[in-house]
Structure 1
Amino acid sequence: MKRLFPTIAFIAVALISLTMAGFAYFATQEAARIKFEGTADDALNRIESRIDLHLSLLRSTQALFDARNGDITRGEFNAFFTALHIDDNFAGLLGIGFLRLAKAGDEATVERDILHDYGSAHPIYPATTGQHWRTPIVLFEPLNTSNYQSIIGFDMFSEAVRRAAIEKAMADDREHASGLLQLGEGAGVAQTFPGLLVFVRLNVETAPDVINASRSSTAGFLYAAFRARDLFQVALSKAPLLPVNVEIYDGKPGADNLLFRSEAPPAESLGGKLVARRDIVVAGRPWTVLFRPTSAFSLPSSRAIPVMLGLFGLLLAGAIALVARYQERAYEAKSLLHEATEKSLLEKDLILQEMKHRIKNSITRVLAIARQTASQATDVKEFSASFSARLQAMAASQDMLTRSRWQKADLGDLLRIELGQVFGKELPDGILSGPEVLLDETTTQALGLTFHELATNALKYGEAGNSTNTLKGNSALKVDWAVEARSQERTLVLNWREAGHKQLEAPAKIGFGTKLIDLNVTRELRGTIKRDFQAGGLKVEIRIPLTE
């Protein structure tokens, strides 16, 4: 659990930080959406206000006709609109006109009235429509160009889009807008504009009974013509400019229904995410208005804040995890140090106990050697020489073990040291041969005394030495050894050969040195020793088991 704590801490803090960053991101998005919704509502209010202003002019004109019971001459109509300064005050409004409602076949009466008002003939066209009603234009203002003179007499009931709006206006006294159409198309106007028309029924008491009405009859229709682009641009160009791209559709969004699109393109980074849709009704006709932010739209808060918050959280999680990891490592180091201290104290105690045991064994061995040496010596001088030599052999073994830190001692090195003490340090080449064999402490001490006694006996009784205490040549003494392995047991086989011309015989009395050799090999090392006294010299075979 302790090892998993840094990971758990990192994951927990990272999740909390990322959650906070997520909330901050969504809060930023929501703030941007709310701000843009407000901007879109502001733009929509401008559009609706502009449309309502223009429709108010249509209602004012309707009030004028109602006040005169529909009896308005062309001059009066022109004077009314000249005083309004439409071009300056009602940008986007192409004009307002009056349609005379007549049954098919009564075109001549309408044409005579037009001739009377305009002083020139304006025949109703198209000549035939196949409809029961005719609604020719008899008045339109402002007629400021010769192009618009040609619209007088145009029957709007002959065109499907206009006819649909006129039929709705026949049914009630409300305003009804047409769908998207090209203003002037079909009326002989040189230049056409995308726009729309708004119709309203005009009732007069003296009108012929052409349409059922509760108190009066319909004499015709007033209509307002709007250039869509100019109308919406004027509405949206009011200061301060709004950072929105506007698309207005007649009905559902579609390329064929597009009334208007702003020139400023939507911002690529925001246009797909922030879209405000408004469904409105203009003169009884549904419109869809889509708002998208432009590059001028500024977010209420930076999007870098959630990212920075998330990165800071991850860094904090990493820092906490590292601190937890360092604490865990410090705790582990403290635990290891405590364990190492306890182990060191235990090892120190064991070493002290072992040293006590070794010193006790060494003292016991020295005492035993001293007693046995004294029992065999004839005088103090002989005792001193023999006892000193044996102590030196023990010391040599101890020195080898000390240099190896009481681990292992090499058999070949042990032989060179012990033989060197007896025959001199310069040993002839070839006297020792065998593989590397590492001996433990017990084996080293036992074999050290054994080799010393064998060398001493060879020097005293054999042909291996002379009065100068040196070897007589390469053939005087040979020592070789090998390791036999059977299954998992390993046995050291050592051959000690003394060569010479003197006839050797087994001694009649066994001395202390021989006893010491036998005790070291058989009891201390649990091995065997064989001596073979031959005519040409002595051969000793020592076999001892080796421990791993």
Structure 2
Amino acid sequence: MDRIPTVLMRLQYCVQEERKGWPTVPRLLSRRSAAGLDKRVAARRCLIGGLKERAILQQLGAKRSRTRRWLLRWPRALPLAIFSLISLITLVSIYAIELGQAQRDMTQLSARATAITAALERRANASSAYLRAGAALLATMEDVPADDFRRFVSELRLDADYRGAEGIGWAPVVRPDEVAEYNAFAARTGPVPFTLYPQPRGDAPFSAPVTYLQPDTERNRRALGFDMYSEPVRRAAMDEAWRTSRPTASEKIVLLQEGGEEAPGFLIYMPVFASSPEGRVLRGFIYSPFNADAFLQNALELEDAGAFGVRLYDGNPGEATLLASTLLDDGPVLREVRHTVTIANNPSVLVLSARGQTALTGLSMVTLLFGLLVAMLLMLLLRMLIQQAQEDEASLQRFEEQASIRNTLTRELNHRVKNTLANVLSIIALTRRRATSLEEFATGLDGRIRALSATHDLLTQSDWGATPLGAVVRAELLPYTFGEDQKVEMAGPELDLAPNDALSLGLAVHELATNAAKYGALSTPEGKVTVTWRALADNLVQVEWCERGGPPVPQERGRGFGTDLIERIVAHELRHPVELDFDPAGVRCVLRIPVRQRGEFAIRAGKANTPQS
């Protein structure tokens, strides 16, 4: 906008130069056609420049990638989606690792259970082999002397090779009519006197009292004389062994050796037969009592259970069938396997368990930490990309805005320069017709152009926005407001005018002030000029010029330039008629000026209040 005052200064310079010779003035006027051509050329260049800027913006817009549009459309959802996706992949990887580890642990657990099952069966088979050997030996003997039985057991070296068992015992078959004879025999040959108990009730075909039990210990003596056939669990095992002629283990019992303590155990029976003309005749049972916990610990010496818990059940697992356990209650059961163990023709169940707190393996922890780190880094990187895309988008929008502003400024400047030049040409034409000499022409033209320049300065200071009405009036009347005698009074509210309206008002006030200084109230010391303005409506203001105390205004006078300027040019620009009254007491002029909203004339009205993203 600084170009307009520059143009006006050049015009003033041309006027001052033309004072040197009147004939050169027509040359200035004769340049109208050339000026019009220059205006058309400038407008065409402005249009071409706008098209080029639009093409550049379209190219920049086309370069925006689809990815960047996604980043700008979902600036918060995309980082969360990436973080969730990487986290999901990490969790799936951890699940796969844990599943593979669980399968490996289960395989290891199953292999360990198989090894322990084999150890238990080997111990049971060794016991069965000893009992088979003892049964074969006793079957060849008519009687079973205590010394021979003790010698047989001692040669088995039970302390070294038969750990887990209480020993080997002999329980002969005693018929009901043989009880008295048996009691006499027991009192005579036993390590301590004992008798058969409980007394037979007559519902059993025979009794099977514990007669010998080696090694001879205090624990084993507690069982001497007990009729094992009188107890249902022992009887069932004996009958099964009698029927199958094979070593047979009993179900869960409590040995008499325990002295009343609830320590589960079991017995393995092997029947001993004698030959007779009628066939085989049952003579008794050779057996071995086992403490279940000692039996399990003895087997674990062969195959260590490691960190796993071992439980041995007599049949289906349950609290009532639990024989022995090494499982400590130190956490929930994570994994377990079950194997069937056959102990002397009696199926049992071995349960191997892994207990503890649920925790991720080392590889899973590393995978989790690595996955979270990658997810956070990718989320941070994507956030930085989004921020960069937002900054780029903001820069592009600012560039588009600046390009639009430049284009608008160019068009506006072209329009206003054309208007200003049109006003100047009109002023020159009117001044030329009214001037009688070169000096009069130059002086009048100089003052009017200076008035335009002063108003342009105000508009430039306001960035060609709203200009205060009072500032325009004060700028034109500034030369008449100095000194002790104040000849000008101005009053009115604060109102803003559009740029073109301010230029028109400045021209009108300049003409009125020039006329008053030459012929009116400002030409005498007693004269006074009053300028007041008030709002007639929200979109209309009235400015009143009134002169008093000056020379009487002649009623018969010629029509001057100022009258034509005000009534034609100013009235046309303001779009309202001007009331110009030449009262004898002083000139009175009333102008009505539209008050327009800023958006109707401000170049950047739509942009000024737009917040930057």
Q: Is the 8 A contact 1:103 1:132 kept in 2?
A: no
1:239 Cα deviation (Å)? 7.7
Moved more, 409-418 or 361-370: 361-370
Matched, 1:509 2:558: yes
1:409 Cα deviation (Å)? 1.4
1:321 and 1:191 mapped to 2: Cα distance? 67
Once the two structures are superposed, what CA deviation does each residue of 1:208-234 show, in whole Å capped at 9, x if it has no partner?
A: x6xxxxx41222222111122222222
Q: Is the 8 A contact 2:220 2:257 kept in 1?
A: no
Moved more, 197-206 or 83-92: 83-92
Query: Which residue identity does 2:128 align to in structure 1?
Result: L
1:11 and 1:147 mapped to 2: Cα distance? 69
Matched, 1:283 2:341: no
Q: What residue in structure 1 maps to residue 311 of structure 2?
A: 247
Q: Is the 8 A contact 2:481 2:487 kept in 1?
A: no
Q: What residue in structure 2 maps to residue 455 of structure 1?
A: 513
> Secondary structure of 2:545's partner?
strand
Q: What residue in structure 1 maps to residue 126 of structure 2?
A: 53
1:523 Cα deviation (Å)? 0.9
Aligned pairs for 1:100-499 (under 5 A) are: 100-111=172-183, 114=186, 117-118=189-190, 122-137=194-209, 139-145=211-217, 148-149=220-221, 151-184=223-256, 194-206=264-276, 215-238=279-302, 242-262=306-326, 265=328, 267-268=330-331, 271-293=332-354, 303-324=361-382, 326-327=384-385, 330=388, 337=395, 341=399, 344-345=402-403, 347-424=405-482, 428=486, 431-466=489-524, 476-485=528-537, 490-499=539-548
TM-score (norm 2): 0.76
TM-score (norm 1): 0.84
Shift of the 120–246 alpha-carbon distance from structure 1 to 2, 3 Å rule, reads closer
Q: Quick one: higher RCO (CA 8 Å, sep 6+), 1 or 2?
A: 2
Q: Is the 8 A contact 1:483 1:492 kept in 2?
A: yes
Moved more, 418-427 or 439-448: 418-427
1:11 Cα deviation (Å)? 4.3
Shift of the 355–425 alpha-carbon distance from structure 1 to 2, 3 Å rule, reads farther
1:222 and 1:454 mapped to 2: Cα distance? 149
1:119 Cα deviation (Å)? 9.4
Q: Is the 8 A contact 1:100 1:221 kept in 2?
A: yes
Unaligned runs of 5+ in 1: 210-214
1:71 and 1:335 mapped to 2: Cα distance? 112
RMSD over aligned CA atoms reads 3.5
Query: Which residue identity does 2:315 align to in structure 1?
Result: G
What count of residue pairs does the alignment treat as equivalent? 524
> Secondary structure of 2:163's partner?
coil
> Secondary structure of 2:70's partner?
coil
Query: Which residue identity does 2:505 align to in structure 1?
Result: L
Shift of the 433–117 alpha-carbon distance from structure 1 to 2, 3 Å rule, reads same
Query: Which residue identity does 1:481 align to in structure 2?
Result: W
Q: Is the 8 A contact 1:198 1:225 kept in 2?
A: yes
Shift of the 49–164 alpha-carbon distance from structure 1 to 2, 3 Å rule, reads same
1:427 and 1:79 mapped to 2: Cα distance? 157
Aligned pairs for 1:28-67 (under 5 A) are: 28-66=101-139
2:594 and 2:533 mapped to 1: Cα distance? 13
Shift of the 70–357 alpha-carbon distance from structure 1 to 2, 3 Å rule, reads farther
1:266 Cα deviation (Å)? 5.1
Q: Is the 8 A contact 2:481 2:488 kept in 1?
A: no
1:115 Cα deviation (Å)? 5.8
Among 96, 105, 117, the alignment partner of 2:168 is: 96
Q: What residue in structure 1 maps to residue 30 of structure 2?
A: none
Q: Is the 8 A contact 1:522 1:528 kept in 2?
A: yes
1:538 and 1:150 mapped to 2: Cα distance? 150
Shift of the 265–138 alpha-carbon distance from structure 1 to 2, 3 Å rule, reads closer
Once the two structures are superposed, what CA deviation does each residue of 1:36-61 show, in whole Å capped at 9, x if it has no partner?
A: 33333333333333333233222221
Query: Which residue identity does 1:388 align to in structure 2?
Result: D
Matched, 1:79 2:151: yes
Query: Which residue identity does 1:441 align to in structure 2?
Result: P
Report which of the two has the higher share of helix: 2
2:316 and 2:268 mapped to 1: Cα distance? 19
Q: What residue in structure 1 maps to residue 61 of structure 2?
A: none
1:381 Cα deviation (Å)? 2.7
Query: Which residue identity does 1:44 align to in structure 2?
Result: T
Shift of the 353–185 alpha-carbon distance from structure 1 to 2, 3 Å rule, reads closer
1:46 and 1:507 mapped to 2: Cα distance? 146
Once the two structures are superposed, what CA deviation does each residue of 1:167-197 show, in whole Å capped at 9, x if it has no partner?
A: 22232212222222222279xx698854211
2:441 and 2:218 mapped to 1: Cα distance? 159
> Secondary structure of 1:274's partner?
strand
Q: Is the 8 A contact 1:394 1:449 kept in 2?
A: yes
Q: Is the 8 A contact 1:97 1:137 kept in 2?
A: no
